[in-house]
Chains A and B, each alone.
Chain A
């Protein structure tokens, strides 16, 4: 893997995102709108332990965001007709995938951050341990970014990707969602580390698989 190639692809993608604000704006509006509903519900219900409820809500929002980011990464290169341009260069599939994974992480963590901020504002004091929630969401974001990027790579040449992409993401996200809920109900910091390690492992696994997925 060549780090300068990863940087070149990532920089180009961030530049494209900055010039495609309506597309990114759609994901931001979704994050804020859905999180506002969640925050409002927490505020009104004021449960004794709000973490499982907020965790479940954020996990659901994050899965939808994973679908958004999957469309904005590898699939979009194919739609723009530029994937062949990359495949004509000596860039290895794993390098290309790593760059897309980093883009996915950047977008996911940013959007999850916006969602949590919206929940925090609207739920007021009822939100509970906010730093713990942020850490848990960031760790889950890493896992879901890898799911999003791998699904994007797997769906890139599929004709029925409109239905297959969200289905793949839903199935691959389930372990993370389950873990989030389990950790939130038990509490404790070790859950965050475990989830982050799972995310890092899945990222490595997805990068290794990408070489086969992107071959034609």
Chain B
């Protein structure tokens, strides 16, 4: 099991955003989390990425607590706001994150860089790029360590049609290589998924076929 939520509750201040969440994701699966605004979709992804701690229950990535470094080495999260340094170039940003993953450079992602049309922008400062281009850079950052579990918060938001098409190809590529994807995408029905996790108004999650 690549991802497992075992009776997870998450609250902020008073009350819980997520209650009694039990879900799992196997290798080869692509799943979507859906629900109204503020229902906890992003919170669920952040729990899976080990960025926040559950109030109750456990989140496991390949059987390991999601907050452990061993788990983080196998997970990639594409957040809504790219965590990139505006004063650094695209190349410097990617080299920095590669270094944090213990990788010697970024030559192994040259193919992705070319496919996303970033080759000519490698020496441009990230602050000079539009949101759509920054998102493309962040896609490379997310995939830089070849994660088995990829979490994406509205992956196609801000992308043009070629970019959206590339994301659809990426989902197929990850699932066919034995990885898994969990995404939130309320605005893009073109993304084909195997399963849907629906967050209700009470913070409970129901699984439905895709």
Contacts and interface: CB of A to CB of B under 8 A. Distances in A.
Nearest to A17: B87
A81 interface: yes
Contacts of A16: 85, 87-88
A12 B99 CA distance: 10
A5 B102 contact: yes
At the interface, is chain A mostly helix, strand, loop or mixed?
Answer: helix
Contacts of A131: none
A17 to B, nearest CB: 10
A88 B85 contact: no
Band of interface residues on A: 20 to 34
B83 to A, nearest CB: 3
A2 interface: yes
Interface in B63-105: 67, 69-70, 72-73, 75-77, 79, 81, 83-88, 92, 96-97, 99-102
A85 B141 contact: yes
Band of interface residues on B: 20 to 34
Interface stretch (A25-33, A89-97, A120-128, A197-205): A89-97
A82 interface: yes
A8 B50 CA distance: 22
Interface string A5-43: 100110010011001100000000000000000000000
Interface in B40-79: 49-53, 67, 69-70, 72-73, 75-77, 79
11 contacts: A5-B102, A19-B87, A80-B85, A80-B86, A85-B97, A87-B51, A88-B76, A89-B72, A90-B100, A91-B100, A215-B67
Interface of A: 2, 4-5, 8-9, 12, 15-16, 19-20, 80-92, 215-216
